[in-house]
Amino acid sequence: MKKAAKAVVGVLVVAGIAWAGTSWYVGKRVEQELRDYVSSLQSQPLPWDLAVTGYDRGWFSSDVRMSLTVRDFPVPGVLAPGDVVPIHAHVQHGPFPLSRLTSGRFGPVLAAMHTQLENSGAAAAWFSSAKGQPPLQDRSALTFAGDITGQATFAPLALEDDGTAVTFDGGTIDYQASGDAARVLADAKLGNIRIKSAAALGVADDVPADMMIEDTSFDVDYEKGKFDIYLGKAHVRLGRITLESVDEEGQPLSIVLQDYVLDTQVGEDEQNLNARVDYSIGGMRLMGMDLGQMAATMRVGSLNGEAMRGIVSRYREIEPELLAEAQAMDPQSGKFPPKLSAFLEESLNALLPGKPSFGLDPARWTLPGGESSVRLNVTLREAPEAGDAPDPLQQVQSLDGSLVISRGMVLDLIKTASASGGAPAATLEQQQAEAESTYAFLRQMALSTGYLVQEGENLVMRVSYTDGQLRLNGEQSGLEELLSALQR
């Protein structure tokens, strides 16, 4: 028994020494990888600078201090250029960090990290708004292959600055990423966000506003494609958006949007990129009026992959200039930033040889009585050599669109507006008769323009343009005549 006990003790001692040695070696590797990663960020056009300010490496764990300095992307009332946000990370060395063993996770990893903001510098106000709790902390694990898995946690916050109050109920983001960031997955659930304007807090100079965003979630699954563009899917949902304010005459204004959803999908083939965006609102109310539902699908296709790679690279180069230009311009001027305008024109010209296509197919507005829709598909091309008077559609190879106005939907809107307008209550028969009369007048005006026709109970306009030939509702039409009419 004594020999057996000595053998067990010997094994444990050897195992302990091996574990300690492995942890020390792993700790050195973690430090080098972290420093290399932070150094690589210096060449990226990020709106901040990240630096390692201290590294205290031990046998089984290390403590890292970093500073994030705001550069080109200030947050009004929260962060300004030059502000420094201190960050602390406690790193437990692999292959078997204690925090993972105590939580029942026995797989070997390079390191387990607990990262959070420090209560100093620009972050001090956030700690105050979070009642002394870390406003943001992250727990993650780094594998030997360089992949990372973790969860970021946001504490509830209550901020007030310059007459505007913001409350946030907190939330979490679960994420995974490959070591080279070629694959990224995230799943977020955020609590309610409420913003109350200055007037709502008693400052009379501003328009009062009280906005609430409830039940927010999003998830993404992206992977870099052959053109270094992220491909995949993303889903965003806002359960309810409520806005209470006043109109120009000081009368109460109430807007409610229910079940706001945005889905995006990006793909590629051998030469091109394509994208689809689906957008929907499950319910809309204005001053208590039911405005039904909205949905739209937007498509982009035949975006040359190499051209898009160049556009993204160019944007990264000039992003600081674009941000500086936007911050320097007066938002009330109504002018489009010149550098951004030049970049967009340059980008479009790079894509035109591939004949890119853009589509709104369709946008729908639905009420119980019917559904109206708009559809538009455009394919572009390089403009031919133009003379002194270039064709306004010289970059359009083809265009196809339609507008469908539902009689039943218009009647629903007329009756809803009438019922909420403060007029004496009317019977259902009276409401229907008044709505029919109003619709008949609007219908006659629409048909008299010559651009809409009757199809069943709908008013419809269909337009197509190919190689300089324009057709309106199936009939040949003059381009100049149509453009002139639309500009009136």
359 found inside a domain:
no
**Which tokens belong to 264?**
């995006």
Residue with more model confidence, 14 or 135:
135
116 assigned to some structural domain: yes
Residue 336 to residue 339: CA distance in whole angstroms: 9
Q: Per the structure, how many domains does the chain have?
A: 3
Q: 270 and 231, same structural domain?
A: yes
Give the percent of the chain with pLDDT over 70.
82
- Look at residue 24 and tell me whether its pLDDT is greater than 80: no
Q: What is the pLDDT of residue 310?
A: 95
322 and 462 inside one domain = no
Q: Which of 154, 189, 221 is the last residue of a domain?
A: 154
Is residue 360 in a domain? no
Together in a domain, 232 and 320: yes
Asked if the model's pLDDT at residue 248 lies above 80, the reply is no
pLDDT of 154 > 70? The answer is yes
pTM, two decimals, is: 0.82
Q: How many CB atoms lie within 10 A of CB 370?
A: 19
Neighbours of 487 (CB within 10 A): 6
Task: Indicate the pLDDT class of residue 133, thresholds 50, 70 and 90.
Answer: confident
Q: Is residue 485 over pLDDT 60?
A: no
Cα angle 282, 420, 250 (rounded to 5 degrees) comes to 95
Range in 231-245, 328-342, 441-455 with the lowest mean pLDDT: 328-342
Q: Render the burial of 114-145: b for 16+ CB within 10 Å, e for the rest.
A: ebbbbbeebbebbbebbeeebbbbbbbbbbee
**Is pLDDT of 249 > 80?**
no
Residues 244 and 270 in one domain: yes
Residue 363 lies in a domain: no
Domain boundary among 123, 154, 185: 154
Place of tokens 């679960």: 174
Residue 336 tokens, joined: 């489009």
> Do 220 and 149 fall within a single domain?
no
Q: To the nearest whole percent, how much of the chain has pLDDT over 90? A: 42
For residue 11, pLDDT over 50 is answered with no
Same-domain check for residues 10 and 28: yes
Q: Is the same domain home to 111 and 240? A: no
Domain assignment present for 437? yes
Q: Say whether both 139 and 221 belong to one domain.
A: no
What pLDDT score does 8 carry? 38
Phi first, then psi, for residue 27 (nearest 5°) are -60, -40
Assess if residue 368 is contained within a domain.
no
Domain span at 457 = 373-383+393-487
pLDDT value at 212 more than 80 = yes
Whether residue 55 is contained in a domain is answered as: yes
Mean pLDDT within 444-467: 91
Residues 163 and 290 in one domain: yes
Give the model's confidence band at 205: pLDDT under 50 very low, under 70 low, under 90 confident, else very high. Answer: low
Claim to verify: residue 282 and residue 400 sit in the same structural domain: no
Identify the residue whose tokens are 């309610």. 192
**Range from 266-275, 315-324, 353-362 carrying the lowest mean pLDDT:** 315-324
Query: Which one of 138, 154, 170 terminates a domain?
Result: 154
Whether residue 9 has pLDDT greater than 60: no
Whether 22 is covered by a domain: the verdict is yes
Query: Residue 276 burial by CB count (10 A; 0-12/13-18/19+): exposed, middle or buried?
Result: middle
Q: Are residues 84 and 205 in the same domain?
A: no
Closest CA to 173 of 118, 218, 129: 218
| Phi, psi angle pair for 56, to nearest 5° | -105, 100
Q: What is the mean pLDDT of residues 125-136?
A: 85
Which band of pLDDT confidence, cut at 50, 70 and 90, is reported for residue 5? Answer: very low
* Between residues 275 and 421, the one the model is more confident about: 275
> Is there a single domain that holds both residue 176 and residue 124?
no
**Average pLDDT over the chain, rounded to an integer:** 83
